[in-house]
Structure formats: structure tokens, C-alpha cells
Amino acid sequence: MVFLSKTICRLLTSLFASLLSILLTTAILSSPAYAATVQKNVLPAQLGVVKPVISCAALADADLAGVTGAAVSLKASLITTAKGEFCQVKGNIAPSIGFEVDLPLTKWTQRYLQAGCGGLCGDINASIGNAASCLPALDGQFVVAASDLGHQGSMMSPSAGDFGKEPQKLIDFAYRANHLTALAAKELIRIFYGQTARYAYFSGCSDGGREALMEAQRYPDDFDGISAGAPAMLFTVQNSFWHAWTTAANLDEQGKTILYADKLPLLHAAVIAHCDMLDGNRDGLLSDPRACKIQPSWIVCQAGSTDSSNCLTQAEWSVAERLYAGPSDAEGKHFLPGGSQPGSELQWDFIQPRPNPKTPQADSGFSGKMLENMSHLIYTTPTADESHANQFPFTMTQLARVSRLHGLLDASNPDLSAYSSRGGKLLMWHGWSDNSIAPMVSIAYYQAVQNQLSKDTTDRFVKLFMLPGVGHCGGGDGFAQLDTLTPLMNWVESGHAPTVIKAGKIADRRMGPPPGENMQPGPANGADGRGMQMKRAPAPYAAGPEPTLATRPIYAFPFIATYKGAGEPNQAENYRVKAGTAIPSSDKWPQQLLMQPGFQRKYLEKNATLIEVAE
């Protein structure tokens, strides 16, 4: 009887919560304020141009040690670009943080933008991304800065993680480099223009997204507005369990590959055939993949069939099931809140082409090499099992070992109260077809912030946008061309909270390899959508928009866009807002302790040893 009473109580509670959610959603969607906000396309306010008060050469003599707390060396020179002249300052903050600050001579409109870096960083890329329609960014009106995060080298090379052997470089990579770069850049702005920047912004994707969240969590006073794309916030688990799983899930007991890339279009077609219309749009995309409950009968070969060319064998389907579910232990306990999402199958770059008997099988650019590369960042003394996907231990004991540096490297602290109190604004975004960083992690974090601060408080300063069909930091068959900077600026400077972002669909291409992976070799990179293609905007301003095949409104989570039923379906104005799928994102994720407040620590290097110190 007691059990029955508790069960009834839970059912009634769940029913009440569902009804309340429906009522609240209806109220929100029908409110004049929401409708008015959706229709606005406000441009950032025009701020006055401020010109330098000293020469560019004089900046090389600036004393920044007082603001950074470390020795700083500087070099300054004038550079000429298509958008005018800039004073380019290159510097080093002791011991080895390289940074660059580009200051416009005739166009500065009192804004500062700091760019995050991807992969494992190691180089400086002071450019502006995801700002395809942001006029100040396109025109070179920002002071732009970036850092190499304290070490030098290719961000995707096999030895890119070796810097983790040096504790100070590990600290700089985790959080110190971006903070000190911000302090140095702001002081250079003050000296050069005779005044401080009126607004400061940070924008990054992948590890740059992790860096963005780290700034909001550790240094809330650094930036007024932050754009965090596909953030690798659970760096320790992401770069161990996730990447090992995407390889190990596709190996049989002999270590041989089960599922090859030529079967992915079949699987994707089956998913789209059954789930495409769940959002009311027949467009080959899933606006909320959580609503798609894939059934093996859609794609698995019939019993007794000898021809599997147009279907998946049971073994191949089992691989897909494991990839959809995400990494777990033998008992089914999950290490992340989800896996690859339905509809993302064409972006499964970790699934290799079927080998040609005449040519050697291509290296995945990941597996053992990637795990070995990451090992010095995560473990003190990595074991052989931790460096090879087919031997990786998917256990809770291993999770505890991986989490040794959770307090240093991870950016999953949901307590953003300090950032909220100072008036900061956080715009998060993630592609639903991202298979390098699990999209459900961003949703789980957003909900963790809501649980920590309340939904109303969170809604005032945090927005999350989930992009259908978009891969890792772009690419895919969805709407990957977007401008996150303009709505962020409107929010910070004018108080217009973004409820929708207009995104464009362009020719599929990759924005870069997943964190820790190498560029795939061969002349056809990017040609068929599988190769990794690096694309950088011309620093220090944004690249212009590419021609779009279609446009679509992307509404703030949990809302989605649905076709009105009339008008050109490739035009954003013919869509309206609709409530998304009311499915809890993390019910099957027992490791939510990784998103609890208070876990982050401060670290120092002492005698070549990493030391945790009291705040």
C-alpha cells in the first residue's frame, strides 16, 4: 500500500507538472511581449568613434605587470587591412602565454571582443566568428584579442597535449591565460585610446565554448556578454569516455570494425522517414531529436535475409544503438547525459569508410592516438588501457580517476549568480548533429543553472539555442550560418533579450576537427562532407555571409520553429514558434555531480608539481 501510494503520488505530481508546463508555455507563446520580441531585428546601437591618443609604437613600452601580476613583454606594429589600419600588439605574459591585440586606428566604437580557441589551442587566432551579419564586426570596429592559452604548437597535432606534463601550462590552458589576456588587452585599450572599453565580449566554440563558460564562472567581471558554442565544458569526461566510446562501440571482440560509413545514409534515411514530420516540417531535419524514438524494425534486416546491402545487420544496429545512448558502464549507468542524436548520422565522422582491398585502411585520426595525446592533460600517469579505445575501462572507478582534474579543467559549475548579479549575459548554442561534443550536455547544463538559480532568474541572463542538423561548431545539413554577436550586443547594450536567431543554410562544410582530432589527410578534404576543413575569418574582423540556400528562425530552447503552412518554406518569415518536446534531458544520467556548484579550485605550480590552494 505504501508503495502504491508513493506511485500514485509520483504520477499526480508528474501530471500536475505537465499541465503547469502546458499552461505556462501557452501563456508565453501568446504574450504580446514574446511576439513583439520575435519580430524585432534590432541592430546594435551606434557608439561614437574614439581615436588613439598615443602612437602605436608607444604601446610597446606599456607596463602591464601591475594588472596581470606577471612580467609582460610587448611588440607593436601597424598593419593595413581591407578594413583599415590596426595597431597590432603581440605579447607574452610570463611564463609562456602568447597573446595578440588588434586595435583599430580610425574605427573603434568602444567595444572589445576576445576570441576563444579550439581544439587544444597552441596558436593565436584573433578573428571574429559567428558574426555574419554583425556590422561593427564586419567593418573592423572592435578591438580584438586572442591567446594561445600558454603553449605553442598545432592544436590538432599528435603531440598537442604534451604541454599537460608542465603544471603551469596546464593551469594557463584551464583558465589563467584568457583571464590575463583580458586584463592586458583592457589596459592596452585604456592607454591607447585614453579610455576604457564601454562593452567587453567573449566568443568561442568547442574548447572556446569551455573557455567562455570558464570566464563566466571564474571571472564574472571580465565580460559583459559571452557567446559559448558547443562548449567542451566536461573536458575531462569528454576527452576520455566520449571519444573512447565512439571508437570502442564499433569494435567486435577481436577489435574489428563492425559498422562502416556506407551504411550511414541508410540509417539516416530511415530516421528521417519516420521522424521528419514530428516538428511539423518536411525538411529532412529534426528540430528536437529527443522526440524521435528509433525502432530497429525501421532498418534492421529481416530474419533469414542474406542481403544486407539495403539494411543493417543486427550487429551494425547494435553499434548505432550504443552511439545513440552514449558511454555507459556494464550496468547501463551513463557517464554523459546522452549520445549522438537521431538525425545526425551523416555527421558520424568517427565511422570510417569501408576499406579498399587495394589501399590500406585509413587511420581514424582519433582512437589510440587521440587518447594518448589527451592522457597528459587528464591523468598523472596514464596507463596503456587509457590510451587505447578498445581497452578503455568504462567504469565508475575510471570516472573517479578521470575526474581528478575536474576542479581545474571543467567548466560545468551551474552557479552563475556572480555573473548574473553584475548584469552579464550568456548566449549558448549547440548543433543537434554535433558528434564531437554531446549536444545533451549543453541542455543538461542549462537545466542545472535553472535548478541552481531558478528558471526565472536564469531566463533573465542565459539563453540556449539548439540548431537542427548543425554539426560541430558549424557544418552539417542544417542552418549553420548564424550571427550570435548581434543579438548578444542588443541584449547587453539595449536590454533586448534574444528569443530567436535567424540562421542560414549554406553548402555543407566542416568548421574544424573535433577537439583532439587531426586534420584528415587527402586532397578531397571537405568535398563529400566528411573531411575536416579549417576556415578562418580574416583577422581582426568578421568574414561576410555566404550565399544561403534557405533561412530559418532558431528559437531559444525549449521552443522550436514550425512551418505556418503557407509561403516559401525556405524563408524564415514563414515559420512560427512552437513548444519543443517536454522530455527531461538527464533522467538517465547518474553523474550529475559533475554539474554541481563549488567544485572549481585554484591551482599553482610549486617545484614542478600541481598544487591545489585555498581560494
pLDDT tens sequence across 393-413: 999 999 999 999 999 999 999
Residue 517 lies in a domain: no
Nine cell digits for residue 95:
611564463
Q: Measured between alpha carbons, how far is 324 from 341 in angstroms, rounded to an integer?
A: 6
Min mean pLDDT across 103-107, 156-160, 496-500, 570-574 is at 156-160
Residue 85 lies in a domain: no
Residue 526 lies in a domain: no
Give just the sign of the alpha carbon dihedral 27, 29, 30, 31. Answer: positive
**To which residue does cell 501557452 refer?**
26
The average pLDDT across 540-549 equals 91
Taking the model in full, what pTM does it have? 0.89
Of 279 and 580, the structure prediction assigns the larger pLDDT to 279
Number of domains in the chain: 1
pLDDT band at 376 (very low <50, low <70, confident <90, very high): confident
Residue 264 lies in a domain: yes
Residue type, 135: L
**What distance, in Å, lies between the first and last C-alpha atoms of the chain?**
51
Inter-CA distances, 29 with 463, 507, 561, 566, 574, Å: 16, 33, 12, 20, 17
Return the axis-axis angle of helices 32-39 and 2-30, rounded to nearest 10°.
60
State which residues form the domain around 356: 239-405
The pLDDT of residue 591: 59
Residue 272 lies in a domain: yes
Residue type, 170: L
Judged against a pLDDT cut of 50, whether residue 596 lies above it is answered with yes
The pLDDT of residue 582: 67
Report residue 607 CA to chain centroid gap.
Answer: 35
Contact 342, 468 (CB under 8 A): no
Q: Measured between alpha carbons, how far is 562 from 577 in angstroms, rounded to an integer?
A: 6
Q: Measured between alpha carbons, how far is 590 from 594 in angstroms, rounded to an integer?
A: 10
Beta strands in 432-470 (DSSP E): 462-467
Q: Measured between alpha carbons, how far is 428 from 230 in angstroms, rounded to an integer?
A: 8
Residue 338 lies in a domain: yes
Judged against a pLDDT cut of 60, whether residue 482 lies above it is answered with yes
Judged against a pLDDT cut of 70, whether residue 470 lies above it is answered with yes
Residue 259 lies in a domain: yes
Inter-CA distances, 562 with 20, 138, 572, Å: 23, 31, 10
User: Could you give the percent of the chain with pLDDT greater than 90?
Assistant: 71
Residue 576 lies in a domain: no
Inter-CA distances, 102 with 89, 189, 215, 355, 491, Å: 6, 10, 21, 47, 25
Give the chain's radius of gyration (CA, Å).
24
The pLDDT of residue 590: 57
Q: How many CB atoms lie within 10 A of CB 605?
A: 16
The pLDDT of residue 388: 73
- Single out the residue of 510, 505, 464 nearest to residue 481, CA to CA: 505
Cis peptide before 487 (omega within 30 of 0): no
The pLDDT of residue 357: 65
- Single out the residue of 103, 23, 13, 24 nearest to residue 58, CA to CA: 103
Min mean pLDDT across 36-40, 47-51, 242-246, 377-381 is at 36-40
Of 360 and 303, the structure prediction assigns the larger pLDDT to 303
Between strands 142-147 and 97-104, the pairing is antiparallel
Average pLDDT, rounded, for the chain: 86
Residue type, 87: C
